[in-house]
Amino acid sequence: MKVRGSEVLNGKYTARNTPKRKWIPYPEGPYYNNETCHWIIDQQNCIKFGRPDSEFLQWRWKPDECELPIFDATQFLKLVKGKKMVFVGDSVGINQMFSLLCLLSDVSEPKDISMKHTSDRTYFKRFYYAEYNFTLANLWSPYFVKSSDADTNGHSYDSIMKLYLDEVDEAWANQIEDFDIVIISAGHWFFRPLLFYENGELVGCNKCGKQNVTDLAHYYGYKKAFRTAFRTLISLRRFKGVTFFRTFSPSHFENGDWNRGGKCIRTKPFTKEEMMLEGNFLETYLTQVEEFKAAKKDAIKRGLQFNMLDTTEIMLLRPDGHPNNFGHAKDKNVTINDCVHWCLPGPVDTWNEFLFYMLKLGHTSFG
């Protein structure tokens, strides 16, 4: 199936003929660079660590029959003045948060107030823009639900985990009512070996290799975790915020999996004739979108706004946007290439152009 634009109708993915919907050359380049923004973490600071090409910085997304507005940091800050915004999920969500910090840095620099709220400043960060009384934060929860290590050898990149699919992770749920704008996303952590629990009972797994345990694939846990997350947001009595659900962003490992020498060395986007949304990525995308659509109906009944930032197809076309092996100094003993996260600056900045556009449209009625 070649993808020429797409939509989901009644849970089914269909193609639309949208030839103008694509990444187009943009010679003006990015809004910032690694010298003008000090918020870029080393793992995503591709230019600092020697990435030799720069063409990946010179593209913009062109929607069908319209133009995506240029990001305006001043207007963005005016839209969120007096509000609190939080990214809930995994490190790709944090990637987007640091992109936003850089996009706003041309106008205003926040104070890092993380230590006032947590002892874990690596995974739980808060920034305060005093001039706008605006707080930007992240709450680390890669599964949304309660989890624990199941491997007797301890935690590692691919050790097996227990997920309690009907029990929300209180690390984010206990704080979320304090926020006005929630951007929620998750993905790659669900591909690892997992044991699925419901009502305290083991019901299946993903890649666990255990006898007498049904392998339900990652879609099962993914679906149930999003269901628990959305239901939590809807059921919390004090939560009056607007929720933006950002869809899954695909990885681009080639010539091997992430732990078997896979790389992402391409230097320009795919065309839609070269890459299609299908198989595992398509099923993962549809799984979360189905849960979102069901949750949105319930959210409307409660007077809540649920919106979708659809980034899956556009990022599938950007194999050139990842750090690969340019997310660290060459003398570091790092053997795994990063084809999951995104260079800063890079195509991930487009997600915040989407967010800015939706905020401008008025998807921000609070309480």
Q: Which residues are catalytic?
A: 91, 338, 341
Judge whether 137 and 182 are in contact, CB under 8 Å. no
Judge whether 64 and 20 are in contact, CB under 8 Å. yes
Q: 164 pairs with which residues across the strands?
A: 146, 197
Distance CA 3, CA 255 (A): 23
Question: Cis omega (within 30 of 0) on the bond before 323?
Answer: no
Provide the edge-to-edge strand list for the sheet that holds 194-198: 145-149, 161-168, 194-198, 201-206
Amino acid at 324: N
Judge whether 210 and 112 are in contact, CB under 8 Å. no
Judge whether 184 and 246 are in contact, CB under 8 Å. yes
Three-class SS of residue 296? helix
Q: How many CB atoms lie within 10 A of CB 124?
A: 18
Q: Which of 168, 173, 171, 303 is nearest to 241 (CA)?
A: 303
Sign of CA dihedral 64, 66, 69, 75: negative
